[in-house]
Structure 1
Amino acid sequence: MSVVKRVSIIVSAMLVVVLVVGVSLALALVRRPLPEYGGTQELAILDGEVEVLRDELGVPQIYADTDLDLFRAQGYVHAQDRFFEMDYRRHVTAGRLAELVGENEDAIAADSVIRTLGWRRVAEQEWDLLAEDTRTYLEAYAEGVNAYLDANEASELGVEYTVLGLSTTLTEVEPWDPIDSLAWLKAMAWDLAANYDEELGRAAALPALAGDVARVEQLYPGYPYDRNAPILSAYTPTAPAAQEAADTTVLPDGEWLGAVEAALDAVGAVPHLLGEGDGIGSNSFVVAGEHTSTGEPLLANDPHLGISMPGVWHQAGLHCRAMDEACTFDVAGFGFAGLPGVIMGHNTELAWGLTNLGADVVDFFLERVYDDGTYLRDGERVPLERRTETIRVNDAEDIALGVASTVHGPIVSGVLPETAAAGNTPVPAGSPPSGFGGYAVAMSWTALTPGRTADAIFAINRADDAYAIAAAAALFDVPAQNIVFATAAGDIGYQAPGRIPVRQSVADTPVPSDGSWPRPGWNSAFDWVGYVAPENMPRGLNPEEGFIVAANQAVLPAGVGPFLTADYDAGYRSQRIRELLTGAIEQGQPLDAQTVTTMMSDNASPFAEAIVPVLLEVPVEDPFVEEAVALLEDWAADGYPQDGDSPAAAYFAAVWAHLLTHTFADELPASVVPEGGSRSLDVVRSILETPSNPWWDDRTTVSLVESRDEILAQSLTNARYELTNSLGADPSQWRWDRLHRVAPTHPVLGGEGIPEPVRRLVNPTPVGVGGGASIVNATGWDASATVGDRPDYRATSGPSMRMVVDLSDLDASVWVNATGNSGHPASVHYTDQIGAWARGETFAWPYSRAAVEEAAQTTQTLVPRD
């Protein structure tokens, strides 16, 4: 989300100040928030001495004698490195962004949606559900954050406060509250919730396709089990896996789904702090010792999230000097600033990684709402639940926001005024009348039910075997994830956690009742009837083939186990990883950390493999275009690597973008035109073999009916001329990384409209990269997006970090962050990892005390104040 409309005015004022007071003072203001990484600091909150050793990347390894002191120190360190990021996140997750940045349209829209969903309210309700230990850890973490805040004014916490203070009333920074940490879990769950884009997209596409449900479903093909393997090959339930279906209910046909178009804009207003779109996912895989050079397991993980500045992750180690009842953690890895503990990493006995499960945890319900504040349920009118939220706007009047909810959750279609009219879609005879303004749309989402995910984080941090992982997973309510793990005892395994809704089967409906389409709220047959029991969630241990790959593909074979979703990633990344692992094993090549790291940067394109052979058969009569097409012929012989220096990769990407536009943009709303990821590939594959398929026809040419080859030839031609304009006339000099660039952007000071000197301060220089959507090196881009009249090839998501854990020697493990560990633009650690990350390189990951001391560049000692 952008808040630059207002901030651009603020920063312009700052530049005037710079001219007046001088460059040297401005530099001093920018550097003022940089923390002291050495010396001794006295903190009244501590029970004993804590050491913080940092390496050349500024990564802290914290040593203490109690769990509480560990988390106090982690809070202190997070505040040192990234407090503005933490403060920005807590304002977003509480629906208080306008309170921070002022009267800004985007901020107020975001606050309205998040207040309607009630992220903070749910987090507050979770507090009493948590284990006592978890609450004390969260309180200790908050004490550490606040100890740093007490010692530093706003200008010493982040240069952003200095800038914001030029135009808004900058009040005293409020203390950190444990609920601030819990609320962040809602942002995680929102960005990683699967299927709601597809659910709304199906409904939005239906009117454009004249109500043809079958054509809509062609845009959302099922998982290609014939090509790409699921994570597990079998499922053995330990208890009944599903509840009994309810009596069937018949709904009348008709365009009753038009109301959900209102929800598209409403949910789109929510800031995506982890990223959004087709590229959000992850790779993870674990290899048994029988296939490694050391005889012990290897684990690899690289979550694919939005490109951000600073990067999503903060690297750290939390070490008890002696493991006893008072001190129970010895863990290192990647976490979130604002949340104690480690999200992905390892302890002495176990390494674990996460990828998005992709389970369908969101449903939209059409509601018949009446003017008297009631809504229809099974033939009766029941009262809406109502409340009023007050949105405070910095230097402007408060806004009163009315929120209404049904049994299915908050009504989201009325959050943005311009979405209300979209509910005026006619309904067939026999349905309840929609009333003035059409149906309302309520949202059911598992994260709006209080849960115990915070307990799960600490349980995983201390887990040592498959049983401990399963116990932790039972607490891991949201977001639904795949957990892969490896143990020092030599086991490798998989566990699916998450709160997964059970839906009743309703027969003879115009669209499926499996959650892939919005549902009628007036009929309780469509309600959720519970959740899949933890003991029935898929799991696996030590498979015969000696490895497990979890990269957002289907979890189990078709029709096996509990229903999780109808909208998995199509599995091209996971299948390529399987091919790489199987190839190495068949060649007798023992795997090591470097080999696995190289696999994580693999650029083979499944798109080119499927489409280039057809493109090469298309008649092309223009020699100028033939010169570019020749690139594809040579590329095929190399296995279609989407490398950064590849001319053919650049040309194919341009052809792909034009192909999608020519094929789908003439018939579909912009919100549902395929973005170019794995689903788009399966859609195109399904029509490539039928040259006269209606999708090929360009509906804008009224008197013509185009065939496949005409559209492909047009795409080849348009791509040739486009790249000639942008990269030059000689195709051999084209490079994919000149188009495909990673450009991390600061959420407040980094966007368009901000003066160039400030953007250069907070935004790193864009970096060209290889890879692409649904490639193992998953630097995703949106093929439906444009810059002016050309496709926008910039990466919108990518591996937010990479890690490889070597269970034979934890000090031999490697990792890299996408940007750096610091959130301060003036810090060397703001961008000191981005170059290595872009090249697919990693850094040593010291874990043992000896390795940490050898790598240490600074030592900070935190001692109790007398």
Structure 2
Amino acid sequence: MSPLSVMRRVSLGLAAALVVVLVAGLITTVALVRRPLPSLNGEFRVDGLAEQVDVIRDENGIPRIYAHNTDDLFLAQGYVHAQDRFFEMDYRRHLTAGRLSELVGEAAVAPDTVIRTMGWRAVAEEEWEMLDPTVKEYLESYTEGVNAYLQGRQPSQLALEYTVLGFSVEVEDIEPWHPVDSLAWLKAMAWDLLGNYSDELQRAAVFGQTDDLEMVEALFPPHPTDRNLPILPTDAEYEAHAAARETNPDQAADDGEDAEVEDADAGADGGAGALAQLDAQEAVEFALSALTAVPHALGEGDGVGSNSWVIGGEHTASGMPLLANDPHLGVSAPGIWYQVGLHCVEVSEACPFSVSGFSFAGLPGVVIGHNDHLAWGLTNLGADVSDFFLERLYPDGTYLHDDERLPLVERREVIAVNGGEDVAINVRSTPHGPIISDAIHQTREAADTPLPEDAPPMGLAGFGVALSWTALEPGRTAEAIFAINTATDAEDIAAAAALFEVPSQNIVFATTDGDIGYQAPGRIPIRADVADSPVPSDGTWPRPGWDSRFDWQGFVEPEDMPAQTNPDEGFIVAANQPVTGPATGPFLGVDFDYGYRSQRIRDLITAQIEAGARLTAADMNAIHLDDHNPYAEVLVPVLLEVQMEDAFVAEAVELFEEWDYRNAPDSAAAAYFASVWVNLLNQTFWDQMPVTDRPTGGSRWLEVVTHLLEDEDNEWWDNRATLTVVEQRDEILSLALRDAREQLTVSLGKDPQSWQWGRLHQAAPLHPVLGEQAPGPIRSFVNPDPQEVGGGSSIVNATGWDASAWEGGYPDYSVTTVPSMRAVADLADFDASTWVSFTGNSGHPAADAYDDQFGAWAAGETFTWHYSRAAVDEHEADTLTLIPAH
């Protein structure tokens, strides 16, 4: 459930109230929407400051903060974040504490229940107690700055959202910020970037639908390492990749990987059989249902990921490294990132910060950016850091573990509901974690699922699903942020990575000494290889909680995590593909992105190097915008071979004959191909999969279809809805071509030459409170105008869309995930670096900086990333001077 869906239920009441406001007069309305706008110029006294702080904003409203000590620096960052984004901060702290119902009412009871069950806030409170004292001081200073801005201001002076919410629920005085509010946000980040939890449950759910292990395994093919290289390839993998390219660019995985799958099948058969025999399928489905209720503040689905790459000076025009990054996150207004510069006037051991980049409102420091010596980028590593444990539960409040019944740990939580009755919940846990399957009221039926007749005679039992997740143990990730902010070399990055426990991220970096590198951080569970396991022991399926052999055996040591500095080829690409091949390094998991984006980036860089080019920041931005469609490369040659006698459909198929496989916004072929693809997934999979697990169309589904195309009689091609017909591959392809032609004729017109991908595929950021069902004038005010964009899922220009989303019998191609920012750091001259954010830096709809970057983002343009004081002063638009109150 997205923040939009949580808020949607209160929108109708808000809309009616806003009509009243509009009727009351334009002057009143203007006053209400402009009242929260902060003062960006002038001199203000601020409690807690020791010395003067200057906040210089450029023409895009991006602040650079100059302070004489770290306490003042982070105090000012908290003040500035609260000026521009406080409602977003307040929303996030209510979300992460499981208190969203206090803010918006009963619409949020379900997500609050699941988050309280997981206990995000409680974990953050434990983390606060274990932090380094210096980092605690930074967080306390940040908190002091937030509260200094809140002091004396009514909710309506902080954000328009409070005024609107006040028409349907009670808006109380704003409670002060607390350092734990910042730490708890790390849990939401970790949740949205969690690796394979949905794949793990989907395997079990699809097996329950098909009762066929081979069909399930076909949906989770091995990574094609011979075609799409990992982040850190070995010499052997380079050679296999080169050989595959020479013989057949589109060939499937090699025999070695296929053999590996056969071995996994043997174990998985036992696991799948156990799930069916134990009748635990219902508990698994309940767990999945509960987890879908959690709002995704950063975005959701397989489009959540990132591109990053770093190129050494031997391949650049300046002779110094270039680093590029574009995290793929959800579509929102305002955008997810807050751009900022944090500068000690004199950098010293006591005040070591001079850093610029992208931050999260509510969290001090810079998450992605550069300092005087080093630039870094982040992408989701996708390591398997969670497992679901099937637990045998008994009515007397016990669970089974190694033939012993032990008491469940229980706690009571009370959810306060704005405008409604409090809701009390009972949270049960085992050492494996909280019982997720009874997180929502109706899922508590899971405890009534009976054991089979051959179960041990220990009394009536049922099943629950517990979640083990590294983020549910306290850690020191907050310390890692400040450590990276002051890092100068690979050794510093490694030290920071040892603290960066969750979410597990790929770190690419470059230094002004000319080094480039990669570092994998994260707390990665070690799973025992259970030789006689009735279920797979690699974390790909739910695990039997009653057998201690499946318990985690500790965590990978930080020094054993993959890392590399200055590789021979002179560049590194990390775009959510596996870090290493299956036989190299510690086991990090198997459910990674299938590497089509990463390999395309590698190919583009390699082509320029082989052509003798020296790359520039402009070349990096061009790679960001690459819209080559790997799906088309695989599927179009097969589609063109399908015998199509219907002239009406053949007219559309002709679009593919001269297509360059680019998903440009004005491409007719791209529009038709997207429709064929979504209909192909529909015709092939929908009849044999649970509704909640229908194909979303990401890179895994491209790999699945790539394999199926070579097996014309595979069971997945058969549509079980046609009882007397067994369909084969070409029949399904013909149906997809026909359905796509008919659908686009309705939506885009009869002439295929007039079709355009951008008319279907639009980025439309919505305000989470007022964005959908408010009156038209309000929607127009808070929602930036939609932009037609190119790109698509698993394309470097990763404007993802969900192939399982249909409305009114037609696919919905709307953009669901986007490059939330695009940045290039030039280590030769930081002032020559570039950046752009999805919408803008302000969270106030009436502010110019609310959406002033959106048009440039959609057009593929960037802004200069001013860093030096001279460049900042040259582009000064507003200056806020903060001085001590006493």
TM-score by length of structure 1 reads: 0.96
Q: 2:375 aligns with which of 331, 347, 351?
A: 351
Mapped to 2, the partners of 1:474 and 1:435 lie a distance apart of 46
Distance change in 2, residues 1:61/1:432 (3 Å) = farther
Greater shift, 811-820 or 361-370, is seen at 361-370
Q: 1:731 aligns with which of 746, 752, 757?
A: 752
Mapped to 2, the partners of 1:627 and 1:294 lie a distance apart of 50
Q: 2:780 aligns with which of 760, 763, 769?
A: 760
Q: Name stretches of at least 5 consecutive residues in structure 1 with no aligned partner.
A: 237-247
Match for residue 844 of structure 2? Answer: 824
Paired residue secondary structure (1:682) = helix
Distance change in 2, residues 1:253/1:404 (3 Å) = closer
Mapped to 1, the partners of 2:784 and 2:626 lie a distance apart of 25
Query: Is 1:233 equivalent to 2:239 in the alignment?
Result: no
Amino acid at match of 1:18: L
For residues 415-434 of structure 1, what are the structure 2 equivalents within 5 Å?
415-421=439-445, 430-432=454-456
Distance change in 2, residues 1:434/1:72 (3 Å) = farther
Match for residue 240 of structure 1? Answer: none
Mapped to 2, the partners of 1:841 and 1:830 lie a distance apart of 17
Offset of 1:424 from its aligned partner?
Answer: 6.5
Match for residue 536 of structure 2? Answer: 512
Match for residue 853 of structure 1? Answer: 873
Distance change in 2, residues 1:152/1:499 (3 Å) = same
Mapped to 1, the partners of 2:535 and 2:217 lie a distance apart of 10
Q: 1:696 aligns with which of 681, 696, 717?
A: 717
Query: Is 1:329 equivalent to 2:353 in the alignment?
Result: yes
Amino acid at match of 2:226: D
Paired residue secondary structure (1:122) = helix
Match for residue 9 of structure 1? Answer: 13
Mapped to 1, the partners of 2:448 and 2:703 lie a distance apart of 33
Amino acid at match of 1:200: L
Offset of 1:788 from its aligned partner?
Answer: 1.2
Offset of 1:360 from its aligned partner?
Answer: 0.5
Q: 1:656 aligns with which of 673, 677, 688?
A: 677
Mapped to 2, the partners of 1:452 and 1:187 lie a distance apart of 15
Q: Are the equivalent residues in 1 in contact too, given 2:450–2:461 (CA < 8 A)?
A: no
Q: 1:26 aligns with which of 26, 29, 38?
A: 29
Query: Is 1:94 equivalent to 2:115 in the alignment?
Result: no
Mapped to 1, the partners of 2:217 and 2:872 lie a distance apart of 54
Query: Is 1:59 equivalent to 2:62 in the alignment?
Result: yes
Q: Are the equivalent residues in 1 in contact too, given 2:822–2:835 (CA < 8 A)?
A: yes
For residues 468-483 of structure 1, what are the structure 2 equivalents within 5 Å?
468-483=492-507
Match for residue 224 of structure 2? Answer: 224
Q: Are the equivalent residues in 2 in contact too, given 1:811–1:846 (CA < 8 A)?
A: yes
Match for residue 555 of structure 2? Answer: 531
Mapped to 1, the partners of 2:688 and 2:99 lie a distance apart of 39
Offset of 1:14 from its aligned partner?
Answer: 2.4
1:821-858 Cα offsets, whole Å, 9 max, x none, are 00001111111001111111110000000000001111
Offset of 1:234 from its aligned partner?
Answer: 4.1
Paired residue secondary structure (1:389) = strand
Greater shift, 337-346 or 780-789, is seen at 780-789
Match for residue 740 of structure 2? Answer: 719
Mapped to 1, the partners of 2:708 and 2:459 lie a distance apart of 41
Match for residue 72 of structure 1? Answer: 75
Distance change in 2, residues 1:275/1:283 (3 Å) = same
Paired residue secondary structure (2:658) = helix
1:731-767 Cα offsets, whole Å, 9 max, x none, are 111100100011111222223x333332222211111
Q: Are the equivalent residues in 1 in contact too, given 2:96–2:121 (CA < 8 A)?
A: yes
Distance change in 2, residues 1:601/1:465 (3 Å) = same
Match for residue 147 of structure 2? Answer: 146
Amino acid at match of 1:12: A
Offset of 1:511 from its aligned partner?
Answer: 3.7
Query: Is 1:289 equivalent to 2:313 in the alignment?
Result: yes
Q: 2:52 aligns with which of 49, 53, 60?
A: 49
Offset of 1:789 from its aligned partner?
Answer: 0.5
Q: 1:708 aligns with which of 712, 721, 729?
A: 729
Mapped to 2, the partners of 1:387 and 1:832 lie a distance apart of 48
Mapped to 2, the partners of 1:549 and 1:375 lie a distance apart of 46
Q: Are the equivalent residues in 1 in contact too, given 2:394–2:462 (CA < 8 A)?
A: no
Match for residue 843 of structure 1? Answer: 863
1:459-482 Cα offsets, whole Å, 9 max, x none, are 000000000000000000100000
Q: Are the equivalent residues in 1 in contact too, given 2:446–2:463 (CA < 8 A)?
A: no
Amino acid at match of 1:843: F
Distance change in 2, residues 1:732/1:86 (3 Å) = same
Mapped to 2, the partners of 1:86 and 1:710 lie a distance apart of 52
Amino acid at match of 1:90: R
1:554-607 Cα offsets, whole Å, 9 max, x none, are 101221111001101000000000000000000011100001101011000100
Distance change in 2, residues 1:41/1:781 (3 Å) = same
Query: Is 1:458 equivalent to 2:478 in the alignment?
Result: no
1:28-67 Cα offsets, whole Å, 9 max, x none, are 1001111111010011210100000000100000000001
Higher helix residue share: 2
Match for residue 136 of structure 1? Answer: 137
Paired residue secondary structure (1:368) = strand
C-alpha RMSD of the superposition: 1.6
Paired residue secondary structure (2:362) = coil
Amino acid at match of 2:667: S
Q: Are the equivalent residues in 1 in contact too, given 2:676–2:739 (CA < 8 A)?
A: yes
1:760-810 Cα offsets, whole Å, 9 max, x none, are 222111111100110000011111111210011001101000100000000
Query: Is 1:494 equivalent to 2:518 in the alignment?
Result: yes
Amino acid at match of 2:640: L
Amino acid at match of 1:727: L
Q: Are the equivalent residues in 2 in contact too, given 1:309–1:763 (CA < 8 A)?
A: yes
Greater shift, 753-762 or 430-439, is seen at 430-439
Q: Are the equivalent residues in 2 in contact too, given 1:306–1:796 (CA < 8 A)?
A: yes
Mapped to 1, the partners of 2:534 and 2:790 lie a distance apart of 43
For residues 210-609 of structure 1, what are the structure 2 equivalents within 5 Å?
210=211, 212-234=212-234, 253=274, 255=276, 256=278, 257-258=280-281, 259-421=283-445, 430-432=454-456, 438-609=462-633
Q: 1:676 aligns with which of 697, 703, 717?
A: 697
Mapped to 2, the partners of 1:641 and 1:691 lie a distance apart of 27
Greater shift, 143-152 or 567-576, is seen at 143-152
Q: Are the equivalent residues in 1 in contact too, given 2:379–2:576 (CA < 8 A)?
A: yes
Paired residue secondary structure (2:406) = strand
Q: Are the equivalent residues in 2 in contact too, given 1:368–1:432 (CA < 8 A)?
A: no
Distance change in 2, residues 1:431/1:344 (3 Å) = farther
Query: Is 1:865 equivalent to 2:885 in the alignment?
Result: yes
Mapped to 2, the partners of 1:473 and 1:662 lie a distance apart of 45
Paired residue secondary structure (1:746) = coil
Distance change in 2, residues 1:472/1:22 (3 Å) = same
Mapped to 2, the partners of 1:725 and 1:275 lie a distance apart of 31
Mapped to 2, the partners of 1:683 and 1:231 lie a distance apart of 22
TM-score by length of structure 2 reads: 0.94
Mapped to 1, the partners of 2:534 and 2:349 lie a distance apart of 59
Match for residue 259 of structure 2? Answer: none
Distance change in 2, residues 1:229/1:34 (3 Å) = same
Mapped to 2, the partners of 1:435 and 1:648 lie a distance apart of 62
Amino acid at match of 1:851: A
Q: Name stretches of at least 5 consecutive residues in structure 2 with no aligned partner.
A: 237-266
Offset of 1:217 from its aligned partner?
Answer: 1.3
Offset of 1:292 from its aligned partner?
Answer: 0.3
Mapped to 2, the partners of 1:587 and 1:171 lie a distance apart of 64
Paired residue secondary structure (1:732) = helix
Mapped to 2, the partners of 1:68 and 1:725 lie a distance apart of 61
Q: How many residues align?
A: 847
Match for residue 253 of structure 2? Answer: none
Query: Is 1:742 equivalent to 2:746 in the alignment?
Result: no
Match for residue 192 of structure 2? Answer: 191
Match for residue 243 of structure 2? Answer: none
Match for residue 245 of structure 1? Answer: none
Distance change in 2, residues 1:338/1:509 (3 Å) = same
